[in-house]
Structure 1
């Protein structure tokens, strides 16, 4: 290979690695927006079951065209299935169901944005190294989230059932992230995601048929929501999350999710008129500072 060409490819790869977290945050934030946009036209579990099924087909095409390697042993298939159930079926099922029951896109993003705190507590309890600077960053991030969410508690968006669904989503994405970091060996992105989405589909379809009487109403908003969910969120966002977890420490990677709530709040303000106040802006600043402290202290 030409040395100059090799250097150019290495520079391109390094540039992509630097911007990957920012791209992930933007893509992941749209998931809460799509949930609200698609909810009037489909029950949450049926929408997600269809999304997972279409994602399996897309990853199958990707795997075939790229000749991606499949997991090397039965244990990796099992671990991929577990993470698929946790990080796709249970996490997204909780988020979408909470939105269906009246929780705003910005608020659900804020609640599940507590994941880095749970991750850091777990890592610390298991004897991992979570330094003082990281704890300070996590505290700033939590304070920023609290500032933004405090004003919404009296607006009727939260009631016991949708709060429990949001809490279940938070626990699922936290456990799934830690489980993937602990047990999964590096796998090819398309085949790993295919197995994860297949497991999520197998779990979600029966629940959708059993629990939901409402039908999917196929129209332009529904098709647009589904296309974005499959092509951008699943093929793009889930693949980036998988790569980020494989490449980074669990606390540092999940701390990126602190940036998702303010990003979602901005999108929800533009698209749905969800208000942004002085407290929202102050919380955003604290959140950004917290992420910076946590991520930089890992390098």
Structure 2
């Protein structure tokens, strides 16, 4: 009974934890460059996972193909997605617009799950996905008011689109090839692969100077423990247990939840339009996941 209750609660917990990632980034990015921030985050996560693997003597995959699949999944979900989001914002793309681009993931996932995974997306699911996207747009439209859209170039938008494609392909790839992984060793392999790409990128493009302030330390600790370990483990578990289109639909709830957190922490205004968008988003996700 307890396990069943936890399974039902996992999507809500995942949305809450994943949403705090944007808040943590807002606190920490003023004190470190994006790729440098990710490198430090990955190194600490790898060290902690190494300790966990050693204590529990978790077994690494015996099949070399699974190692390769885990590396590809890690590159997509951790390196390209996070790197793309951070790079887009650094190049001037408004964070709200970046989130809106990433918010296309459920629709993109639904469009390709049939041919790739043999999952059926019916008219009700398509309607829910469309309603969720409208809700996300309503929430973010109020946060983009007054933003000039000519303040960034195609390079910034290219990074945002790359992030969208990476998280979409990463979740689909994880569902198809990596559902049998041990969460401890599998996640360790994924982060090692991500570090192998983000590390050289940071060395080549950034100064790698960090201002060790209390906000940065707290943000880094939160992103390591809550996001990189907690939320990612929940995402991998949800992918293993659920259909790809349904799991992707939960990402629609992230921008509204982030807006609520920003309202609570930073006194950002919540307009009636944004509140209506949150309701529309929740209804859309309900349509997708309802049996």
2:51 counterpart of 1:58: no
Match 2:75 to one of 85, 110, 118: 85
2:144 counterpart of 1:150: no
- Where do residues 130-209 of structure 1 align in structure 2 (5 Å cutoff)? 130-151=121-142, 152=144, 154-156=146-148, 159-160=152-153, 161-209=155-203
Task: Give the TM-score, by structure 2 length.
Answer: 0.93
After the TM superposition, which of the residue ranges 123-132 and 113-122 deviates more from structure 2? 123-132
- The 8 Å contact of residues 62 and 190 in structure 1, kept in 2 or not, is answered as yes
Deviation of 1:164 (Å): 2.6
Task: Give the TM-score, by structure 1 length.
Answer: 0.90
Aligned equivalent of 1:235 = 229
Deviation of 1:125 (Å): 5.1
CA–CA separation in structure 2 for the residues paired with 1:20 and 1:204: 29
Deviation of 1:101 (Å): 4.0
CA–CA separation in structure 2 for the residues paired with 1:260 and 1:98: 18
CA–CA separation in structure 1 for the residues paired with 2:197 and 2:211: 22
CA–CA separation in structure 1 for the residues paired with 2:73 and 2:220: 22
| Distance change (3 Å), C-alpha of 1:249 and 1:238 | same
- Where do residues 1-299 of structure 1 align in structure 2 (5 Å cutoff)? 11-103=1-93, 105-124=95-114, 126=116, 128-151=119-142, 152=144, 154-156=146-148, 159-160=152-153, 161-213=155-207, 215-296=209-290, 299=291
CA–CA separation in structure 1 for the residues paired with 2:141 and 2:12: 27
Aligned equivalent of 1:4 = none
| Distance change (3 Å), C-alpha of 1:225 and 1:102 | farther
SS in 2 for 1:155: coil
- The 8 Å contact of residues 105 and 265 in structure 1, kept in 2 or not, is answered as no
CA–CA separation in structure 2 for the residues paired with 1:170 and 1:222: 27
- The 8 Å contact of residues 94 and 147 in structure 2, kept in 1 or not, is answered as no
CA–CA separation in structure 2 for the residues paired with 1:125 and 1:187: 24
Instruction: Please list the CA deviations of residues 233-278 of structure 1 after superposition, one character each: whole Å capped at 9, or x if unmatched.
Output: 1110111111111111100111111111100111122223433222
Aligned length: 287
Specify every segment of 5 or more residues in structure 2 that has no aligned partner in the other structure, as ranges.
none
CA–CA separation in structure 1 for the residues paired with 2:249 and 2:214: 35
